[in-house]
Amino acid sequence: MRLMLLLLLCLTPCVSGGKVLVWPGEFSHWLNMKTILDKLVEMGHTVTVITHTATPSVMTKRSAGFNFEILQVPHTTEDSENVLNEMLKYWMYDMEKDSFIQVFLKMSRAIDKMMAQNYALCRAMFAKKDLLEKLKMEQYDVVLEDPMSLCGDLVADVLGLPLVLTIRFSFGNTIERHVGKLPSPLSFRLKNHLFCFFHDVLYHVMVWQTWDHLYTELRGKPTKASEILGKADIWLIRTNWDFEYPRPFLPNFKFVGGLHCKPSKPLPDSPDLNPIEHLWDVVEQEIRVLDVQDVQQLRDAIMSIWTNISEERFQNLVESTPRRIKAALKAKWGSNPVLARRAK
């Protein structure tokens, strides 16, 4: 009996978590990717996110299963937010008033600004040879990238790792068609044909050609960005199959929309009353990329970071304090008419 039990124990499979290297997008792209990462961490995998000092959306607080590598970039968080806000404002309010050519030119300028920031991040990544060597030594299993923010695919190629892309769709299905080789027949409407043609030209002239130059420079040999991105082993599509119009899909295109349908997390019992904590988040994010040797250098670094926080950002955080306090008082003493009046 004991011999049989010992034999069964020897046959028990051993499973260990993997190591995932992440090249994220920003704003809603990060929120959607974070859902996938949370699931990976829940299953016992270790996640390392490569982000930068100007990220407007990736919170770099260390938590269980998550690690962060923060790159220094020349632009600021406000710069990242302003570029997106300008493009969204034009897209929602002014685009319908312009001709097809005007839309092409104005959208090209907006994409130029976003690509310049993406360029800076990519250069910062490959300028840190020690970080690349560290990532090689840590032996990751896979790279997860949002293709709206390029360069993660080049990192995967340099490290010799499998590449997984997560995407909802690209405009005109340009990336899926030209990079993923996904059949995507056009509809019979002239407007849709023009829309796809517009984005084909936009990607070819402004994206692939310019990124080809950067990839060639960083690799030291002729390199096409679309070919590097096209090496992706799996494409995770952030929707459900039945939401898409009928068309053929390749076997490496997987629908993961169900991950985004889980119940929302409950709100905390008490709201955050202290905006200073958010300012300290900014300080902590900046300090991580500095080489601080002693307490005096740490003091000087904190003072320098605080004095360089823009007045507008500081004011927004500080002015939120009264609103948060009122909300807390009303939630706590709403049933008491005397105290509730004081909370107003």
d(CA 48, CA 185): 38
pLDDT at position 61: 75
Each residue's pLDDT tens digit, 121-144: 999 999 999 999 999 999 999 999
Say if residue 206's pLDDT is above 50.
yes
The answer to whether the CB of 227 falls within 8 A of the CB of 211 is no
Calpha distance 25→149 (Å, rounded): 5
Q: Which residues face 71 on adjacent strands?
A: 52
What pLDDT does residue 336 have?
47
Burial classification of residue 256, based on how many CB atoms lie within 10 Å of its CB (0-12 exposed, 13-18 middle, 19 or more buried): middle
pLDDT value at position 52? 94
Most confident segment among 3-12, 44-53, 167-176, 329-338: 44-53
* Tokens of residue 9, six digits: 């124990």
Specify whether the backbone of 181 is left (phi greater than 0), alpha (psi in -120 to 50) or beta: left
- Report the alpha-carbon distance of residue 299 to residue 292 in Å, rounded: 10
The chain-wide mean pLDDT, for the chain, equals: 80
Q: What percent of the chain clears pLDDT 70, i.e. is strictly above it?
A: 73
Position 37 scores a pLDDT of 92
Q: Give the confidence band of 318 by pLDDT, cuts at 50, 70, 90.
A: low
Distance CA 78, CA 94 (A): 23
Report the phi/psi class of residue 65: left, alpha or beta, with left for phi > 0 and alpha for psi in -120 to 50.
left
Q: Which domains does the chain have, with CATH numbers?
A: 17-261 (3.40.50.2000), 276-342 (no CATH)
pLDDT over 90 for what percent of the chain? Answer: 34
**Whats the size of the chain, residue-wise?**
344
> Distances in Å between the alpha carbon of 113 and those of 59, 85, 120, 219?
23, 12, 11, 24
Residues 238-286: tens digit of each pLDDT: 888 777 777 788 999 998 887 767 677 776 665 554 555 556 666 666 6
What is the model's pLDDT at position 300?
A: 72
- Of 172, 192, 194, 195, nearest in space to 184 by CA: 172
Which position has the higher pLDDT, 157 or 273?
157
Instruction: Determine which of 37-46, 145-154, 178-187, 286-295 has the lowest per-residue pLDDT on average.
Output: 286-295
Mean pLDDT lowest among 144-148, 200-204, 247-251, 328-332: 328-332
**Over 133-153, what HEC string results?**
HHHHHCCCCEEEECCCCCCHH
What local confidence, expressed as pLDDT, does residue 338 receive? 46
